[in-house]
Every structure is written in C-alpha cells, then in structure tokens.
Amino acid sequence: MTGWLLRYDGWDPAAEPLRETLCALGNGRFVTRAAAPERRAGHGSYPGTYAAGVFDRLADEIDGHRVENESIVNLPDWQSFTFRVADGPWLDLSAVAVTDYVQELDLRRGVLTRRFGIQDGEGRRTRVAQRRLVSMADPHMAALDCTLLAENWTGPLTVRSALDGRVTNDGVARYRGLDGRHLTAVDPGAGAEVLTLTAETRQSKVRIGMAARHRVLSGGTELPVVAAAVAEPGLAAVDLELAMEAGRPVTVEKLAALCTSRDPGIGEPGEAALDEIGRAGTFADVVARHELAWDHLWFRCDVEIEGSVRATLVLRLHVFHLLQTVSPHSLDLDVGIPARGLHGEAYRGHVFWDELFVLPFLNLRLPEVARSMLLYRWRRLPQARAAARATGHRGAMFPWQSGSTGREETQVLHLNLRSGRWLPDNSHLQRHIGLAIAYNTWRYYEATGDTDFLTEHGAELLLSIAAFWADVATYDAVGDRFDICGVMGPDEYHDALPDRDEPGLDDNAYTNVLAAWTLARALECLEVLPPGRRHELLDTLDIRRADLERWQHVSRKLRLPWTEDGVLLQFRGYETLEEFDWAGYREKYGDISRLDRILEAEGDSTNRYKLSKQADVLMLFHLFTADELYAVLDRLGYPHDRRTIPRTVAYYLDRTSHGSTLSKVVHSWVLARSDRRRAWEYFLEALESDIADVQGGTTGEGIHLGAMAGTVDLLERGFTGLETREDVLGFDPYLPDALRRMRFRLRYRRHTEIEVAIDHQTLTVGGTASRATVLPLRVRDKAFRLDPRGSLEIPLRRRRPD
C-alpha cells in the first residue's frame, strides 16, 4: 500500500462485492463497478454501470399496496470479457488453480489493474494482465486491455468480448422482491468488427447507445483479427481467435463508448457511441488523455497527511470516488449528488441531504461543480413549491429523497431484515433537507463570492425555502414562541413521541436553529441583491412587507427545548424518554449500530429511549462555529455561556449508536476543539467506513459519499478551523497530536491554487495564481495579507483545549 495504490492480494470471491465498489471506475458521467470482466451477476459478482441521472420508475405490489420506486438504472455491461484455451471451458477463477492474483487501483492515474496466473486441468499455465479505465478525459469512453501469455503451451485461444444487455437491477438483496427490469428494446447489432447495442429504459424512455471495437497486438505490432459474431439475445459479442505461442504475449484492446439520450452535445445515442469509438484512437491514446485529465484534477484536489501513508491513501480514495461521482463532466447533466455514489444500487441512486458534507469540498476546489449541484435543486423548485402547497404551505418544500423530477422518492415502507416485517417509513418528515439546501446555497456564495449565481438562482432558492419555514412555524401566544411541529431531525431513530399516534416531532432543535438561521440569511440576501432583482423576486414569489416582518419575527422567536442544566434538547419531550441500556444491549448483540432493527424485532421501539442513530443536535456544532451559533442563540433570545456547547456535546456523546457513517465525521468535528485525542480516534474510525466496510456489507451496495467527503472536509476545514466568511480566508488550526503535518491546495474566490501546509508550529500559505489581488487572511485573531505569488509563514502557538 502506498499513498496512491489500493492493492488487494489473492482471489477472494467473498470479498468481491466490496472490491467491486472500492475499485469502481468513473468520471462524473458514469461509473462502472470493478467486477471481474469474465463474470456475470451472481455468486457474489455484480457488474454494474450507472450513468448520472438515468433513472426509471417501476411499480410493485407489497402487502396489497402499490409501491412505486424510481431507481438509477443498471446499464449494459461494457466490460464483459473472457477467454478459453482451445475448446476448453471459459475462464472461471473458481474452477482453475489460481497461482497468484493481484488487483491494484492506481488512484493517481485512475487505472485498475489485475494480474494473475492460472493453471488448468491439463497443466497449461497462462498469465493474464488486465487494465481498465473509465475516461476522465473523454466522458463517454471506457477501455480495457488484456495481455495473455501462454507460459508452457502453444495453441488456439478464443477471447469473447461483449456488450451485455442482459442485466437487471439486482444488486441489493432487500430490493430483490421488486421489479428490477428497467431495460427494454435491447438490440444488439450484428457486426463482429464493431459491437453495438442499443436499449431504452422502460418508463423514463432514456435511449442508451453503446459501441465497442477491438485490436489485437503482439510485440507492438497489430495482428489481423479473426473475429466471429456471437448471436445471443441481449448480447452483442464477438469471438476473437488468437494463435498463442509459448512465451509470446498477445494483447487485446477493447474500447467502449456509452451514450444516452440525456447527454448534451450528441445526436442519436447509438450513432454517437459509434462516433466516439471511431475517433478515440488506440488504447494508449485513451490512457494518455485520461491520465492527463486526472493529473489536472489531482493538482486541484490532492490532500496529504505527511507521515501517514494509510490515512493519505484512504483520503485520496475518498477524493477519487467523489470526483468519479461528480466532476466537471457532470456540469450540464442536471444531476445531484447521490448519497451512495454511482457505485451501486443502495438507496436507488437518490439524492439526500448528504451533499451538505460534499459541497464544502467542491466549493473550495471545483466551485463550478458545486454550482451545478445547486442548480439541480433550483430546477426542481416548481416540484418543491407544489409539494409545499399540497401540505397547505407557502414556499418550497424539498423532498427527503430526490431523483429525476424532484418529487418525493422516499419509500413509504421499509423492510426490517431482522424481523422480516415491512414497516411504515416516515423519514420523508426530514424536512430539514430544504434547510440544508439553503445552507449550501449561502456557503457556496460565501466561499466563491459568486453574486451572479446568488442573483439569478441562489436567492430564489433561499427565499422560497425561507417562505416555507416562516409559514410552517405556528405561534404560541402563551409562551410567545413559534413552534415547528410534525417533523423529524437527522436522527432517524426518532419519528414520533412514544405516546403519540401520529408521526413527527415538535421543535427539533437542529431544524429550528437552521430555520432561524435561514430566515436571517434570506433577509440578508435581500440586502445583497440589486434592487431591480430584489423587487422582481419579491413580486414573483409573492413575498410582501408583512411576510418579511413575519420572517424577522419567526427568526427571533423559534422555540428551542433545553434541560434545566442548559443542555440543548433534541426535540420537545426528549427529556421524558427513558435512558437506554447500552451495556446490556452491547453484551447481547455486539454490534448495536442498527438499534432500530434490533428493537423493532423485539417488539420495542427506538422512540422510547434517549438514543440516536447519528448526530442530530451535534450537527449544529458541525455546521456552525461557536460564534455563529451563539449569534443565532442571541437572536432567539436564549441565554448561553461558554460551556453551552461542550455541555451539550458531552450529553449526546454516549447516547449515539453511530448507525449512519455520517455520525463519526460529525463527532470528530465537534470534539476537534475540546478533545483532540478522541477527535482523532473518531476521524480514524470515519476513515474506515468504506475501506473496511464497517457496516458489514453495505459498501458492496455503494460508497457512503457523505462520509467520504466529510473526512476530507474534516481535515481541511475541521482541524484547521478554515472559514470563508466576511471576505476573508480564516484559519484557526487545532491539529490533533497524531496529525503532524498536512498539505492541500484550494481555491478561494478569485484566488486559485492557494497552497496550504500546516503543522503544529507553522501555517504556510502561498502560491496563489498570478493575476489575483491581495488575499486577506485571518489566523486566529490576527489579520494578514498575502500578495499574489507570495508566501506567508505564520507561527502557531500551541493552544489549550477550549
């Protein structure tokens, strides 16, 4: 393992689902799981290719209810590639002796390599070396090459390469009872020289076009290809006959193109795919362009912890998968950030609030990509408005899970695998999703200073979301406070009070604080807008003076529940819940992260206890600095002292089961300033989420993109105290002891290529691009100015924990 190479030794079919996800290849337009190319779905293998935004909606019947699900569609498998010696069996690593096996993902170059040796029943030894990529330069292209070496035999070998349209959505066991046949009109072309395959999604009618061509080489010379088309339904395949000689390697190159009718800049997808492979050049040409594109991305996006190869590797793996899910190639696709990447079928490719953990990284690296993710939301404002209206409210109410149209995609039922029961799913009550969108919009604006975006799109998002919350809040004249009722916070283990029949909680502190903050930012945004645009928006959105007065009022009067000792409570009534027997349950079950399933299977409910799936109140200390949070409390008229935050953190620390991978990121963050050792431990645990598949199998169904991006953000903003408010780039470093020195490069407003290096003694900032003006910096309480192309070394005094 180096800081760039993820390596697996040995062929281990049981580990394949995890490796397929962690070694998946993509470019922000489509991602292909790293299934062994010779295997079809089954026996632990799951080839999957998903194009951003290609969804399809199908209906099923569960327990007499019609249930609709919109899913990211598994597209035909372009990788399919196998061989056999003479007329022996096709390659099956489980049926031959595998003498050695190495799989390596080179993160720097974006190339996946597999090298292995096999010996068949007749003693023939063959060596195989395969490389694969999904091009970061040519967004429709993927490529595979395979070098075969007959070690001790001479004779014929047949390679069978295909575009396999016989795929379904079958990657997640708990969805298997549901219809997963999303492709129709699968039409393999008849050619042998060039393979073609077209298909269409059943309901959304997205047309898919694929094409592939091959070259055979030996000793650097291209050999004439003896190719025969294979006729099988749903499969465009070719057999290439090779005459192998002992000791003489032969390479087969496969270039494949994938186009869909959602792609900008193309005509008919089938023809476009043919065009693409026609002009792609050779495998070497494709690799060269691809490596260059990755090189450029890494220049902007690399992070390094000096002295820690493993942590650096894992962080780079996280950046790698983030950039494979969304990249400059996503810009015109009208797509959001799927919580599980485009790496598997968990959560059906839906977009949740997880972008809250992803956008900070993009804001400071690839702001144009962040902007395009916000535009995905902006385009869905009409749906969000309709959803608000349907519940009797003004403004815009965004869905907890979003897909193609922006309608609510959250399931109404979910299956508890432990009890086997289908249960009502109330998680759509996580209305805080809209607040996350407002938060992201404002933070994007702060980090980039992109007033054009704010004026044209961002303000409309912010105002529409603010209008919803001001309308939802109800006034309680007795307490002279506003309440927000019937919602859920981020903690999905609480969807109702134990003694109440209807779902939803009142005055979730996370929601109320964010709502107050959003209303204040919406009012501030009006000040920033040019007067003409301000009037235009207020007119169009029908926001009157009286409404703005109400916004002021609500933003100062939302209720927050507290204990008598000044701990911020998760929601009203939380104090009446029972303490949970953590030790007893740990002893009984070992892993208790999914307490919802455990307790339901016992006939009990998480709603009864003081426990949470993930950070809820603590999210506030992740999203806001202490100063910002105290400013909100001041605005709301709640007294606080220096200990309010540490007291509240301490209260929830041991009441969380970390049933979501997001939870440890947040816990590390909130402890960064008070308990560096524990913060570092949580950071290391968060790093393991996917690479070690800590949830015992969920990574095989897709990465956890929020946690991946969150760990990088933790390093870059959490431990450095990096802030982008008030036109100044601020730092307030607080490095854990184990973190000796780290380096990264970022972009702040017009200042591109800012190099940052931090250790316990010094913060070095420098290298901004030439034409930018002076960059104002704040380090702790001191102001500095960084000249263009200058560099500053700022000594840091060690600080005591807050």
Least Å distance between CB 436 and ligand BGC?
A: 10
Q: Are the CB atoms for 85 and 120 separated by under 8 Å?
A: yes
Angle of helix 705-713 versus helix 662-671 axis, rounded to 10: 20
Structure tokens at 89: 């069996």
Q: What is the tally of helices (H) and strands (E) in the chain?
A: 21, 31
Q: Which stretch binds ligand BGC (CB under 6 A): 72-80, 328-336, 346-354, 538-546?
A: 346-354
Residue carrying the six token digits 């001001």: 470
Reported as type and span, the H/E element at residue 528 is helix 509-528
Helix intervals (H) in 391-508: 432-448, 451-453, 459-472
Structure tokens at 549: 């007065």
Least Å distance between CB 354 and ligand BGC?
A: 5
Nearer to ligand BGC, 614 or 657 (CB): 614
Angle of helix 459-472 versus helix 367-379 axis, rounded to 10: 50
Q: Taking the mean position of all CA atoms in its chain, how far away is CA 383?
A: 23
Least Å distance between CB 353 and ligand BGC?
A: 5
Check binding of 144 to ligand BGC (CB under 6 A).
no
Least Å distance between CB 51 and ligand BGC?
A: 20
Check binding of 398 to ligand BGC (CB under 6 A).
no
Check binding of 339 to ligand BGC (CB under 6 A).
yes
Least Å distance between CB 689 and ligand BGC?
A: 11
Check binding of 492 to ligand BGC (CB under 6 A).
yes
Nearer to ligand BGC, 238 or 707 (CB): 707
Helix intervals (H) in 529-581: 531-540, 545-557
Q: Which stretch binds ligand BGC (CB under 6 A): 37-45, 347-355, 782-790, 792-800?
A: 347-355
Check binding of 397 to ligand BGC (CB under 6 A).
no
Residues in Cβ contact with 219 at an 8 Å cutoff, skipping those fewer than 6 apart: 248
Amino acid at 105: L
DSSP per residue, 351-389: B-TTHHHHHHHHHTT-HHHHHHHHHHHHHTHHHHHHHHH
Site for ligand BGC in 26-45 (CB under 6 A): none
DSSP per residue, 635-655: HHT----TTHHHHHHHHHHTT
Between the CA atoms of 509, 512, 513 and 516, what dihedral angle is there, to the nearest 10 degrees?
-170
**Single residue of 353, 482, 580, 683 touching ligand BGC by CB under 6 A:** 353
- Tell me which DSSP letter residue 190 carries: -
Nearer to ligand BGC, 91 or 694 (CB): 694
Reported as type and span, the H/E element at residue 707 is helix 705-713
Least Å distance between CB 706 and ligand BGC?
A: 6
Q: Which stretch binds ligand BGC (CB under 6 A): 10-18, 176-184, 195-203, 349-357?
A: 349-357
Nearer to ligand BGC, 353 or 445 (CB): 353
Least Å distance between CB 649 and ligand BGC?
A: 19
Q: Are the CB atoms for 594 and 659 separated by under 8 Å?
A: yes
Check binding of 510 to ligand BGC (CB under 6 A).
no
Number of residues in contact with ligand BGC under rule CB under 6 A: 12
123 vs 85, 244, 246, 248, 250, CA distance in Å?
Answer: 12, 16, 13, 18, 20
7 - beta bridge partners?
104
The question of whether 492 is a catalytic residue gets the answer yes
Pattern 465-484, binding to ligand BGC, x per CB under 6 A? --------------------
Check binding of 668 to ligand BGC (CB under 6 A).
no
Nearer to ligand BGC, 305 or 595 (CB): 595
Please return the burial class of 608, using the count of CB atoms within 10 Å of its CB with bins 0-12, 13-18 and 19+: middle
Nearer to ligand BGC, 339 or 560 (CB): 339
Q: Which stretch binds ligand BGC (CB under 6 A): 263-271, 350-358, 391-399, 760-768?
A: 350-358
Confirm or deny that 254 is annotated as ligand binding.
no
DSSP per residue, 300-334: HH-EEEET-HHHHHHHHHHHHHHHHHSSGGGTTS-
Helix intervals (H) in 692-746: 705-713
Q: Which stretch binds ligand BGC (CB under 6 A): 111-119, 345-353, 517-525, 714-722?
A: 345-353
Q: Are the CB atoms for 230 and 126 separated by under 8 Å?
A: no
Q: Which stretch binds ligand BGC (CB under 6 A): 25-33, 348-356, 549-557, 624-632?
A: 348-356
Q: Which stretch binds ligand BGC (CB under 6 A): 305-313, 322-330, 352-360, 374-382?
A: 352-360
Check binding of 120 to ligand BGC (CB under 6 A).
no
Q: Which stretch binds ligand BGC (CB under 6 A): 351-359, 362-370, 468-476, 626-634?
A: 351-359
Site for ligand BGC in 693-712 (CB under 6 A): 706
Nearer to ligand BGC, 706 or 730 (CB): 706
Least Å distance between CB 687 and ligand BGC?
A: 17
CA distance 505 to 261: 43
Least Å distance between CB 490 and ligand BGC?
A: 5
778 - beta bridge partners?
730, 783
**Single residue of 662, 754, 777, 796 touching ligand BGC by CB under 6 A:** 662
Nearer to ligand BGC, 335 or 339 (CB): 339
Q: Taking the mean position of all CA atoms in its chain, how far away is CA 455?
A: 28
**Single residue of 490, 503, 504, 736 touching ligand BGC by CB under 6 A:** 490
Nearer to ligand BGC, 494 or 550 (CB): 494
CA distance 269 to 683: 44
Q: Are the CB atoms for 595 and 612 separated by under 8 Å?
A: no
Least Å distance between CB 401 and ligand BGC?
A: 8
- Sign, CA dihedral 668-724-626-526, equals negative
Check binding of 354 to ligand BGC (CB under 6 A).
yes
CA distance 560 to 633: 9
192 vs 159, 195, 255, CA distance in Å?
Answer: 13, 6, 14
Residues in Cβ contact with 173 at an 8 Å cutoff, skipping those fewer than 6 apart: none
Site for ligand BGC in 199-258 (CB under 6 A): none
Nearer to ligand BGC, 130 or 410 (CB): 410
Nearer to ligand BGC, 39 or 594 (CB): 594
Active-site residue (options: 20, 70, 460, 492) = 492
Q: Are the CB atoms for 344 and 17 separated by under 8 Å?
A: no
Structure tokens at 339: 């919580």
Least Å distance between CB 527 and ligand BGC?
A: 33
Residue length, the chain? Answer: 802
Confirm or deny that 353 is annotated as ligand binding.
yes
Least Å distance between CB 662 and ligand BGC?
A: 6
Nearer to ligand BGC, 137 or 359 (CB): 359
Check binding of 614 to ligand BGC (CB under 6 A).
yes
Buried b (16+ CB within 10 A) or exposed e, 250-277: bbbbbbbbbbbbbbeebeebbebbbbbb
Check binding of 17 to ligand BGC (CB under 6 A).
no
**Single residue of 80, 660, 699, 724 touching ligand BGC by CB under 6 A:** 660
Check binding of 402 to ligand BGC (CB under 6 A).
no
* Binding site listing: 353-354, 613-614
Task: Give the residue numbers marked as catalytic.
Answer: 492
Task: Output the known binding site for substrate.
Answer: 353-354, 613-614
Q: Interface residues with ligand BGC (CB under 6 A)?
A: 339, 347, 352-354, 490, 492, 613-614, 660, 662, 706
